[in-house]
């Protein structure tokens, strides 16, 4: 559906070919649970890779095994081969398959340990034996300690493993924002749940001047402070965390900006009835699905006053056009601020999809190919995929 990540990997591949090397591409697509699974075969991307690279790409049909090994051995300088989806093997992620649904945590942990200590090592050895050099250019999965993204680096000497150009570009773009940002620095954090963004919000409080909180998270914050959120998405077990964030922001002098109003819907669908309500007083039977006029005005004005802007997560259910106008306003304001000289970094599949949906991709400073990786890099200041190459 989208070749952004393929295009992003091309400069590194071309560099290797231009220097007289041959390239074995390995990657994953989707979350296959079996081997093989034609729906997720990487054979489908061969035409897109060939088109972007301008070179023929041979498909190996598997990622390990005799055929792949034979093809790798016979590769000549300038030639490219593509391995089959790494995630056809449970060894790639190190997540055991076929466990009984009612397996206990102990059983699951034991199966994971056994997989990582046995089959995963064999799998990685076979992958590593295909090549002389290992380049990691997969920023989008650099926060995972998987066989192909981190473990494999142990099988190459320091001089024979490196980061690709995309990785370098991504890491530099994030460093530009996190290390020496121009102020005021605002992070816009949307999406569905507090639980998945909590770590990054806490880390950002140490760095930014303000955080715009949008999306489904709004209602956990509202309810934690005694508001009424109707049927909106809400995580009661996150109330203490939401209150802690509010307190922490106050202590650090970080402004938390939330929409005073909400677009509410009586169903999670395009043909739902809609209305507007205060974000902390939503009637039962209705749920907050986007920001409304007051929120749009507040977010826009705030964004226009900033010099560094980081955006992760839509501020509404942008997949449904009727609920996408808040996210569109945010995207437009970011583009306008960028035009006025602000540095804007957009990351996370959904925010990037928003920017693309509204045709603004060329009006922001940097679009990251990573979602989880971007957030974890901000949170921890490092990523397993990057550390594996360096250490």
Q: Which of 295, 313, 370, 384 binds ligand AMP (CB under 6 A)?
A: 313
Residue with Cβ nearer ligand AMP (192 or 274) = 192
Active site residue 5: yes
Tokens of 366: 């940097």
Tokens 């045709």 correspond to what residue?
359
Q: CB 371 → ligand AMP: shortest distance, Å?
A: 7
Instruction: Write down the catalytic residue from 108, 193, 207, 297.
Output: 193
- The answer for residues whose C-beta is within 8 angstroms of residue 206's C-beta and 6 or more apart is 252
Q: At what angle do helices 372-380 and 165-178 cross, to 10 degrees?
A: 50
- The answer for residues whose C-beta is within 8 angstroms of residue 34's C-beta and 6 or more apart is 88, 97
Tokens 């992760």 correspond to what residue?
312
Residue with Cβ nearer ligand AMP (160 or 195) = 195
Active site residue 73: no
Q: CB 180 → ligand AMP: shortest distance, Å?
A: 27
Distance, in Å, from the CA atom of 5 to the CA atom of 50, rounded to the nearest integer, reads: 14
Q: Which residues in 199-228 contact ligand AMP (CB under 6 A)?
A: 215-216
Instruction: Write down the catalytic residue from 164, 316, 347, 372.
Output: 372
Distance, in Å, from the CA atom of 170 to the CA atom of 271, rounded to the nearest integer, reads: 40
Residue with Cβ nearer ligand AMP (22 or 274) = 274
Instruction: Write down the catalytic residue from 5, 116, 145, 228.
Output: 5
Q: Which residue's beta carbon is nearest to the bound ligand AMP?
A: 191
Contact between 96 and ligand AMP per CB under 6 A: no
Residue with Cβ nearer ligand AMP (251 or 273) = 273
Distance, in Å, from the CA atom of 174 to the CA atom of 378, rounded to the nearest integer, reads: 8
Q: Any idea what the Cα angle at residue 251 is, between residues 248 and 257, rounded to 5°?
A: 65
Tokens of 13: 């591949």
Active site residue 349: yes
Q: CB 339 → ligand AMP: shortest distance, Å?
A: 26
Q: Which of 96, 227, 288, 372 binds ligand AMP (CB under 6 A)?
A: 288
Distance, in Å, from the CA atom of 23 to the CA atom of 26, rounded to the nearest integer, reads: 10
Contact between 42 and ligand AMP per CB under 6 A: no
Contact between 191 and ligand AMP per CB under 6 A: yes
Contact between 347 and ligand AMP per CB under 6 A: no
Rg (CA), the chain: 23
Q: Which of 140, 347, 348, 372 binds ligand AMP (CB under 6 A)?
A: 348
- Asked whether 317 and 289 are in contact (CB, 8 A), the reply is yes
Contact between 233 and ligand AMP per CB under 6 A: yes
Contact between 314 and ligand AMP per CB under 6 A: yes
Q: Which of 196, 274, 356, 365 binds ligand AMP (CB under 6 A)?
A: 196
Closest C-alpha among 112, 137, 188, 173 to residue 11: 137
Distance, in Å, from the CA atom of 333 to the CA atom of 30, rounded to the nearest integer, reads: 33
Distance, in Å, from the CA atom of 194 to the CA atom of 242, rounded to the nearest integer, reads: 8
Active site residue 372: yes
Contact between 316 and ligand AMP per CB under 6 A: yes
**Interface region with ligand AMP, contact rule CB under 6 A, candidates 87-95, 164-172, 190-198, 203-211:** 190-198
Q: CB 273 → ligand AMP: shortest distance, Å?
A: 16
Residue with Cβ nearer ligand AMP (185 or 221) = 221
Tokens 């990057």 correspond to what residue?
386
Q: CB 204 → ligand AMP: shortest distance, Å?
A: 15
Q: Which of 90, 128, 204, 289 binds ligand AMP (CB under 6 A)?
A: 289
Distance, in Å, from the CA atom of 309 to the CA atom of 343, rounded to the nearest integer, reads: 6
Element (H, E) at 263: strand 261-265
Residue with Cβ nearer ligand AMP (282 or 303) = 282
Residue with Cβ nearer ligand AMP (120 or 218) = 218
Q: Any idea what the Cα angle at residue 79 is, between residues 74 and 14, rounded to 5°?
A: 145
Contact between 4 and ligand AMP per CB under 6 A: no
Distance, in Å, from the CA atom of 215 to the CA atom of 259, rounded to the nearest integer, reads: 10
Q: Which residues are catalytic?
A: 5, 193, 349, 372
Chain residues in the site for ligand AMP (CB under 6 A)? 190-193, 196, 215-216, 233, 288-289, 313-314, 316-319, 348, 350
């Amino acid at each position: 559906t989208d070749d952004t990540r393929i295009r992003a990997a091309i400069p590194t591949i071309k560099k290797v070919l231009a220097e007289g090397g041959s390239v074995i591409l390995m990657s994953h697509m989707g979350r296959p649970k079996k081997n093989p699974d034609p729906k997720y075969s990487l054979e489908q991307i061969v035409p897109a890779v060939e088109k972007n690279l301008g070179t023929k790409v041979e498909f190996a049909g598997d990622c390990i095994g005799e055929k792949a090994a034979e093809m790798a051995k016979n590769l000549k300088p300038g030639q490219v081969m593509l391995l089959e989806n790494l995630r056809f093997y449970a060894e790639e992620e190190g997540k055991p398959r076929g466990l009984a649904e009612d397996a206990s945590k102990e059983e699951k942990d034991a199966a994971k340990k056994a997989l990582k200590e046995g089959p995963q090592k064999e799998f990685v050895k076979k992958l590593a034996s295909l090549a002389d050099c290992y380049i990691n250019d997969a920023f989008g999965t650099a926060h995972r300690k998987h066989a192909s993204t981190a473990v494999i680096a142990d099988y190459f000497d320091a001089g024979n493993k490196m980061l690709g150009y995309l990785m370098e570009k991504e890491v530099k773009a994030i460093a530009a924002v996190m290390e020496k940002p121009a102020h005021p620095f605002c992070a816009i954090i949307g999406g569905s749940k507090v639980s998945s963004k909590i770590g990054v919000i806490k880390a950002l409080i140490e760095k930014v001047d303000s955080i715009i909180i949008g999306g489904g998270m709004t209602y956990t914050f509202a309810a934690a402070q005694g508001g009424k959120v109707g049927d909106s998405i809400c995580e009661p077990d996150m109330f203490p965390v939401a209150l802690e964030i509010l307190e922490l922001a106050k202590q650090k002098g970080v402004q938390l900006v939330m929409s005073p109003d909400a677009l509410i819907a009586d169903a999670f669908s395009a043909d739902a009835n809609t209305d507007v309500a205060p974000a902390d007083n939503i009637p039962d039977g209705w749920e907050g699905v986007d920001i409304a006029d007051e929120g749009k005005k507040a977010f826009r004005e705030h964004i226009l006053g900033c010099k560094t802007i980081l955006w992760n997560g839509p501020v509404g259910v942008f997949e449904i056009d009727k609920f996408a106008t808040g996210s569109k306003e945010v995207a437009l304001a970011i583009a306008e601020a960028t035009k006025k000289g602000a540095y804007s970094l957009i990351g996370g599949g959904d925010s990037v999809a928003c920017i693309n949906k509204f045709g603004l991709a060329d009006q922001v400073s940097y679009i990251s190919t990573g979602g989880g990786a971007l957030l974890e890099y901000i949170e921890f200041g490092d990523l397993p995929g990057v550390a594996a190459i360096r250490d």
